[in-house]
Amino acid sequence: MQVKRLAVLISFSGQGGVERMVMNLVRQFAASPHISVDLLLIRAQGPYFTNIPANVNIIQLNAKHTLTSIPELARYLKKHKPEAMLVAKDRAGRAALIAKMLSAVNTRIVIRLGTNLSTALAHRSAFNRWLRTAPMRHLYPLAHKVIAVSEGVRQDTLALTGLIPEKIQVVRNPVITDALVNLASRDCPHAWLEDNDIPVVLGMGRLSKQKDFPTLIHAFAQARKTRTMRLIILGEGGDRPSLERLIHELELKADILMPGFDANPYRWLSRANIFVLSSLWEGSPNALTEALALAVPSVSTRCPSGPNETLAEGRYGSLIEMGNIEEMAEAIIQTLKSPLPADDLKEAVAEYKDNISAKHYLNLLEVSDDNPLDRSLVNNKSMDSGRIN
């Protein structure tokens, strides 16, 4: 049996969804007896750098930044010659492509992009946007494939890079794991979630401009005029002081809880009556996917990119315009009145299971030993919209 060497490159730098999704993939990759996994780390910080399978070879790079890691990456590629390398995030992807050129190896470089870059950079100056995106047009043609986490991210990447459509594939995030339900069933973290008389609205994510929690707070303030409810915002970040000031100004301190980051957010999420995603931009919203997987009725902004795909244009939950307080408040009220059945919510995210996602990744990396039917599925999809279900 031929064992194929697969490298995975990532920088662990915080509490973001990218790190969590990549580690879900690594655990699935490591379960294959046909694959040897090298996990290359530029940094190794954050809560998701845990539970790594014993058969994963961890290689800690000395470089502290992606661009300065290029010489080390080139030496690694030249020495070990892995069949393929999966790289998370744009900057690391560019570094890997340059390292491949320097090492003159045949390793297939596949880059995973997890956000709508145009929207994320919209507030930057024209020069800064050019500085970030111009290298993509020059380097990305050297990649074997680019994996986008949603069709919205795919379309944005096509526009930014000028790549041929077949080069960029959509593969859903490996959000739903065997551990998800188990973690969700752990002890209830707060008394509000045990009180069946007062519904709890939950928002979750980094406390940052991207998540637009001020709109959620204002919408909650409006919705609670109709009925008694509470709001929990789970996460940590630089916007905490401004959010706390807003809660104080609106005299909502008794009804809003901000408990910070929890490595197990699912015990909060699974007990909420409704989940609300108020983001201004996403790639593929993991928290929304997790909420549906746990049968939590959900509301989301129609932000670029992903929520409209996850919610099937409103079939599985209300889609509202970004920053629209009145529309969000009304969606919260109506969802609490008439939640969708649990089975319908779970059906919405069936394709986000970690084993299914990992299979598609391995096929695109061309290190899979799956049967020809699996590979033909990828090839047929690549000739269509680039989406793999």
Q: Can you tell me which residue has the tokens 């959010």?
A: 243
Give the CATH number, domain containing residue 308. Answer: 3.40.50.2000
| Mean pLDDT, residues 367-381 taken together | 47
Tokens found for residue 118: 């145009």
In 22-107, at which residue ranges do the beta strands (DSSP E only) sit?
35-45, 57-60, 84-88
How large is the average pLDDT for residues 166-186?
95
CB atoms within 10 A of CB 165: 14
Highest mean pLDDT among 16-20, 50-54, 248-252: 248-252
Range of lowest pLDDT (43-57, 138-152, 228-242): 43-57
pLDDT score recorded for residue 385: 43
Same domain, 151 and 281: no
Q: Provide mean pLDDT across the span 206-220.
A: 97
User: 184 near 266, Cβ under 8 Å?
Assistant: yes
Binning pLDDT at 50, 70 and 90, where does residue 132 land?
confident
Same domain flag for 37 and 139: yes
Residue 375 pLDDT > 50, yes or no?
A: no
Per DSSP, the three-state class of 351 is helix
Percent of the chain predicted with pLDDT > 90: 80
Relative to beta strand 35-45, strand 57-60 is parallel
Tell me the C-alpha to C-alpha distance, in Å, between residue 30 and each of 24, 36, 39, 359, 375.
10, 7, 10, 12, 20
Q: Lowest mean pLDDT: which of 43-47, 353-357, 384-388?
A: 384-388
Give me the pLDDT at residue 271, please: 98
Claim to verify: residue 135 and residue 226 sit in the same structural domain:
no
- Summarize pLDDT for 324-345 with one digit per residue, the tens: 999 999 999 999 999 999 999 9
Short-list 358, 369, 271, 385, CA closest to 4: 369
Q: Is residue 336 within 8 Å of 273, Cβ to Cβ?
A: yes
Whether the link from the prior residue into 382 is cis, omega within 30° of 0, is: no
Tokens for 318, please give them.
Answer: 């209300």
9 and 156 in a single domain? The answer is yes
Q: How far is CA 23 from CA 19, 84, 91, 141, 356, in A?
A: 6, 17, 19, 27, 15
Rounded to the nearest integer, the mean pLDDT of the chain is: 91
**Residue 196 shares a structural domain with residue 341:** yes
pLDDT value at 110 more than 80 = yes
Give the model's pLDDT for residue 19.
86
Does one domain contain both 296 and 194?
A: yes
Per-residue confidence band for 148, with pLDDT thresholds at 50, 70 and 90: very high
Which residues constitute the domain of residue 209? 178-349
Cα 220 versus chain centre, distance: 25
211 and 287 housed in the same domain: yes
Structurally, the chain folds into a number of domains equal to 2
Residues 193 and 262 in one domain: yes
At 370 the pLDDT is 60
Q: pLDDT at position 115, please?
A: 87
Q: Examine the domain organization and report whether 216 and 341 are in the same domain.
A: yes
**Over the stretch 244-280, which tens digit does the pLDDT of each residue have?**
999 999 999 999 999 999 989 999 999 999 999 999 9
* 273 and 163 within one domain: no
Q: What angle do CA 225, 227, 232 make, to 5 degrees?
A: 90
* pLDDT at residue 388 in the model: 56
**Amino acid at the residue 142:** L
Q: 187 and 118, same structural domain?
A: no
What number is the average pLDDT over the span 48-65? 88
Same domain, 289 and 383: no
* pLDDT confidence of residue 378: 37
Quick one: what percent of the chain has pLDDT higher than 70? 92
